[in-house]
Structure 1
Amino acid sequence: MSYSIFHNLEIKASPKKVFDAVSQPKHLDNWWSLKSSGKPEVGSEYNLNFTEEYNWFCKVSALKTNESIHFKMTKSDTDWNSTTFGFDLETKEKETLVKFSHINWQKDNHHFKHSSFCWAMLLNGLKNYLEKGIIIPFEDRN
């Protein structure tokens, strides 16, 4: 049995702007990671650096430009290693519906539940970044 995290949110921005914010390192660093690298291409490796202790890697496992991107974790902590997270984007009238998923967790433990909470907070940060230009300093993100 595996466990999954799902969050849906609407962002007042075009699918292209949302896609860039969840796939381009220069944008990821404004709402999620401390320093990241990678290219939005299937098979491309991303480095997601949060601290020296949390210097993780993943690969793009699925991609449709401006529609969806999914990342398979390759080097992270034990709980995240088996997981894949991603963003599916759906065009609405003046906004984009973001369907976020983080699937294949092996345990329904504290880390799984804490990660779900953190994703909700980070996705709200993504929304504020795209809608209002707010960048929360890395050390203030939870």
Structure 2
Amino acid sequence: MAAIEHIQYVNATPAQVYDALTSERGLAEVWTDDLTVQAVQGAVNEFRFGEAGLVRVKITEWLPRSRLAWRCLDSDPQWIGTQISFDLEAREGKTAVVLRHEGWREVTEFYRWCNYNWAMFLYSLKSYCEEGVGLPFQRRRF
């Protein structure tokens, strides 16, 4: 099975980064502003991307300030059943964020496109945590 893995260093505390990854306000700035989010383990959250589709994920791990994990329930068929995780670690006044998207059955064109877009997600997360403004789907140019 294939996996996507990225790291980003954010000039913010793990608590601030975790809040951005779990709150409606944060996720609306980082990923998409068309969402339904509950910040609790076991919740099923929805992220909508216009004609590009819907992503429904279940929160499977919730460790404040250190780890968040989702299991994809609905999206593009290549995403269904995959796991997305965010591991946070304080390092020299910054937070290292490791994003993993695991469980891909194969490396496809869509996998490669998603790999790029997860890097953009981390850029948006960094921008939001450091400057208060992210780059969600609705403000990106494709």
TM-score for the superposition, normalised by structure 2: 0.92
1:100 and 2:99 aligned: yes
User: How many residues end up aligned between the 2 structures?
Assistant: 141
Give yes or no for the alignment of 1:89 onto 2:66: no
Corresponding position of 1:136: 135
* Long gaps (5+) in structure 1: none
Asked if the contact 2:10–2:96 (Cα under 8 Å) also holds between the matched residues in 1, the reply is yes
| Aligned residue number for residue 23 of structure 1 | 22
Find the aligned partners of 1:136 and 1:120 in 2 and give their Cα distance. Answer: 12
* Higher mean C-alpha deviation, range 20-29 or range 32-41: 32-41
Aligned position for 1:79: 78
Q: Deviations over 1:68-104 (max 9, x none)?
A: 1011000111011121111100011211010110000
Q: Structure 1 CA distance, aligned partners of 2:14 and 2:136?
A: 25
- Gap change, CA 1:65 and 1:137, over 3 Å in 2: closer
CA distance in 1, matches of 2:115, 2:54: 20
CA distances 1:1-50 after superposition (whole Å, capped 9, x unpaired): x1000001110001011001111121111021132222232211101111
Within a 5 Å distance, the mapping from 1:1-142 to structure 2 comes to 2-136=1-135, 138-141=137-140, 142=142
The 2-side partners of 1:66 and 1:78 are apart by 31
Identity percentage over the alignment?
27
Query: Are the counterparts in 2 of residues 82 and 106 from structure 1 also a CA contact under 8 Å?
Result: no
CA distance in 1, matches of 2:104, 2:44: 21
Aligned mates of 1:96, 1:122 — CA distance in 2: 16
**Using the alignment, how far apart are the partners of 1:137 and 1:6 within structure 2?**
20
Does the 8 Å contact 1:25/1:35 carry over to 2?
A: no
- Structure 2 residue runs without a partner (length 5+): none
Q: Give the distance between the partners of 2:37 and 2:134, measured in 1 at CA.
A: 21
Q: Which moved more, 1:103-112 or 1:126-135?
A: 126-135
1:86 maps to a residue whose letter is S
